[in-house]
Amino acid sequence: MPNPAFSSPTPNAAKIAVADLDGVLRGKYVSAEKYAQILEKGFGFCNVIFGWDMTDLCYDNAQVSGWHTGYPDALAWPDTSTQRAIPWESQLPLVLADFSKDESGAASVCPRSLLKRVVGKAAEMGYEAYFGAEYEWFSFRETPASVHEKGFQQLTPLSPGMFGYSMLRSSQHASYTDALLQQLPAFGIPLEGLHTETGTGVYEAAIAHSGALEAADRAVLFKQGVKEIAHRQGLLASFMAKWDSGMPGCSGHLHQSLKHTGTEQPVFAGPGRPNGFSRAFEHYLAGQMALLPILLPLLAPTVNSYKRLVEGSWAPVNMSWGIDNRTVALRAIPGAQPRVEVRLGGADANPYLAIAACLAAGLYGIENQLELEQPPVSGDAYQIKGLPALPRNLGDATARLKAAPLAGEWLGEAFISHFVRTREWEWAQYSQAVTNWELKRYFEII
């Protein structure tokens, strides 16, 4: 069913967009005539979007896309259920596309196509998966030009001071707050809540839950929408996981639940059982406990992601679970419709890959009836000894993913092989860089 936020004016152009491996939307404007053809027949899109990094540097280690392929077009197909009008761009139509129908190899590495396959696996098992994303981001009184001129240092935040849940700050910036509250829902992204978070100029938004694929669509468009709305307010929004060592990080928490297909019956509810959790819920948690440490690069995909995963940062440092506990990796939330909040991911994660990883891990636990080997953490998980530690950097996390056959079994060998190569590339770029920290520490004294 087409998105109800989509209206059908007759402008002379439209937008089409696809998500690359880093969750960056790549797209173009097309004429109204071309748009009509695309909706009917799909369109060719250069496969380089899976062969370069977020700065448009081409990988030298990729197989699916690279100079050796000549960078041909791959078949992208629009999903008309994602059609919507862009409120801040004269109601211009926009549609998301993926490469599920492509036969050249792009389908195997396309993030949206991957999530569709995992959702299909859930359907085969008799489940419908529901997700809701929460995002934190920093807003600055800057422009793209000014942050480059300043070398990304001494940036001016939207507001000074630590003002979590501040009624004052959100009211003081009412124009920005109102634009987010009005324009995002009009863009087909319903919000359940919006508030300031701890940090200078930080906001957090909770997106209303929906089916897994739609939740990922909403999430990727939410990040794009916030950036565009902020720009029109004279601001710059950043979803970087940890932009400043003295500031909190930006999370991308994922709330998730299952229902039996075709019913409203929650799979995770277990009346009469401890905490009201079903056996299936415990298996789902156990699967995530087992598999998410292996799939961590899908939730923490950048070098910077791991700067957020430190003690006392409202982000986990070990693989743990607890009941309504915000110091653990998996927060089990009881109630009439229980859910689990995965707190591993940062705001920098690709929503399609993060949701695919979480769902695949949970389904793995249900299919294999895994048992929870660890009791729920009560109190501060940072202080409990013996909990399984998470990888401390992208290099270690990628090596662990590369060595795990289970990852390929659940997400596809072709995808894992390609994704691992992209993270190895990312780690190599970082390893070769000379940072400001090194200059300050070694330049004169050593």
Q: Which structure tokens are listed for 417?
A: 């092989």
Quickly tell me which residue has 């991308």 as its tokens: 252
Quickly tell me which residue has 């259920």 as its tokens: 81
Q: Please give the Cα distance from 331 to 106 (Å, whole number).
A: 35
- Pick from 189, 362, 353: nearest CA to 268: 362
Q: What is the per-residue pLDDT for 4?
A: 39
Is 417 inside any structural domain?
Answer: no
Going by pLDDT thresholds of 50, 70 and 90, the confidence category of residue 6 is very low
- Please write the tens of the pLDDT for every residue from 140-154: 999 999 999 999 999
- pLDDT winner (highest mean) among 67-71, 300-304, 434-438: 300-304
36 and 125 in a common domain: no
Averaged pLDDT, 220-228: 98
DSSP letter at 389? B
Q: Where are the alpha helices (DSSP H) in 111-173?
A: 111-124, 144-149, 167-172
Per the structure, the count of domains in the chain is 2
DSSP letter at 13? E
Q: What is the per-residue pLDDT for 1?
A: 35
CB neighbours of 73 closer than 8 A, spacing ≥ 6? 44, 45, 46, 47
157 and 46 in a common domain: no
Domain boundary among 42, 69, 104: 104
134 and 77 in a common domain: no
Distance of CA 436 to the CA centre of its chain: 28
Burial of 152 (0-12, 13-18, 19+ CB in 10 A): middle
Q: Please give the Cα distance from 192 to 170 (Å, whole number).
A: 16
Q: What is the per-residue pLDDT for 312?
A: 83
pLDDT at 2 over 50: no
pTM of the complete model:
0.96
Q: Please give the Cα distance from 305 to 251 (Å, whole number).
A: 10
- Please write the tens of the pLDDT for every residue from 278-331: 999 999 999 999 999 999 999 999 999 999 999 888 899 999 999 999 999 999
Domain boundary among 44, 73, 104: 104
Is 58 inside any structural domain?
Answer: yes
Is 418 inside any structural domain?
Answer: no
Range of the domain at 197: 120-411
Q: Which structure tokens are listed for 146?
A: 């000014």
- Per the prediction, the chain carries an average pLDDT of 94
Averaged pLDDT, 237-255: 96
pLDDT at 424 over 50: yes
Distances (CA, A) of 211 to 21, 216, 255, 335, 359: 21, 9, 12, 20, 12
- Specify the CATH number for the domain of residue 65: 3.10.20.70
Is 441 inside any structural domain?
Answer: no
- Specify the CATH number for the domain of residue 167: 3.30.590.10
Burial of 405 (0-12, 13-18, 19+ CB in 10 A): exposed
162 and 17 in a common domain: no
CB neighbours of 443 closer than 8 A, spacing ≥ 6? none
Q: What is the per-residue pLDDT for 10?
A: 56
Is 140 inside any structural domain?
Answer: yes
Q: What is the per-residue pLDDT for 9?
A: 52
- Please write the tens of the pLDDT for every residue from 167-215: 888 889 999 999 999 999 999 999 999 999 999 999 999 999 999 999 9
First-to-last alpha carbon distance for the chain, in angstroms, is 65
Antiparallel, parallel or unpaired: β 127-140 and 236-238: antiparallel
